[in-house]
Structure 1
Amino acid sequence: MPTEPNASPRGTDAARSVRFEAQVVPYLDAAHNLAHWLARNPADAQDVVQEAMLRALRYFDSFHGGDVRVWLLAIVRNTFYTLRSRAPHDALHDELDDVKHPLVDDGPSPETLTLLAVDVGALQAALEKLPPPLREVLVLRELEECSYKEIAAITEQKIGTVMSRLARARERLRDELTCRPKEVRRHDVR
């Protein structure tokens, strides 16, 4: 049966588009959530997601199975850092100091503190104060519910690095949530 020379490219583009929409688009909210917490600016987050989706579509043929969500979130993360590298130097590039952020955790977890009626505004404000590498792993683990292995794949880090960053992020978040202004402490009735 002979094939028409003009029929092949259209058919493959349409099938590719359908597969992309079925496999990748359902994770658009997760992509936007990660971009939002990385960029901390709605307009920048939209730019990151738009560029990441274009890259995902462009390289969709190179995706050969595995977890589409992890693949897409890795693209979002890499897109953010690529776009950010073109911007002026800011706190994003500051190194993490292991002396300032030891791996000691002797108090309640951020999840426990949150369940003890920490309001959403305070939690968001505390999360925004974290350095980007710490905020990134915390968002991926707690908000996107990625496993350590998935986070390691997304961030291109070793699992041990992911675990230590997550511990530091939880500690810093706990410190931010439990830190109260001096006026409040002075007038606090217990």
Structure 2
Amino acid sequence: MLLRPRQKQFVERSVRALREHGNTLGVAPTGAGKTIMLSAVAGRIVAETEAKACVLAHRDELTTQIRSKFGRVNSTITTSVVDAREKSWGAQVTFAMVPTLARAGNLDQIPALDLLVIDEAHHAAADSYRRIIDTALKRNPMCRIYGVTATPNRGDKRGLRPVFSTSSANMCSSRSRPITSTAPFRRST
């Protein structure tokens, strides 16, 4: 699958921010192709470093959709799934549903990950997400966290700074063009 120029720019900036600054949040408006872009970012990291990754989503339908799009972008990378029916960590990239993975018995099964990707990353401050993030970091303190969202500001004012140190490749909503490359993450008030 070919990415649009603005998507390529977003991916490049995200990969660079992950390498140079650590845990990174990518912000793009609805319709910008966040699923395709997060797939490209994760695919690049996994392919270039032989990393083991997990992609989190908060609903079963999203897990299926993201896995399908990931396969279109990264046809040579193996995938598996952790959900209510199946719990397989045997592939390079595992797609997991947060409510399932956040349960104590399932948290114990998380292997050492090199990359944890969070779709709809504004949820990352929630307790269930934090249990997963904390477990991944306990297994591998060098695990990078990458998230994408259209709405980085949470209504409950719980900031994302404890998870993401950098915001990269932000796109404005009017034309979906990149407006910044890398900046320290700040919550707007």
The alignment's TM-score, normalised by the length of structure 1, stands at 0.25
Larger RCO (CA within 8 A; separation ≥ 6): 2
> Between Structure 1 and Structure 2, whose CA radius of gyration is higher?
1
Instruction: Specify which structure has the higher proportion of strand.
Output: 2
The alignment's TM-score, normalised by the length of structure 2, stands at 0.25
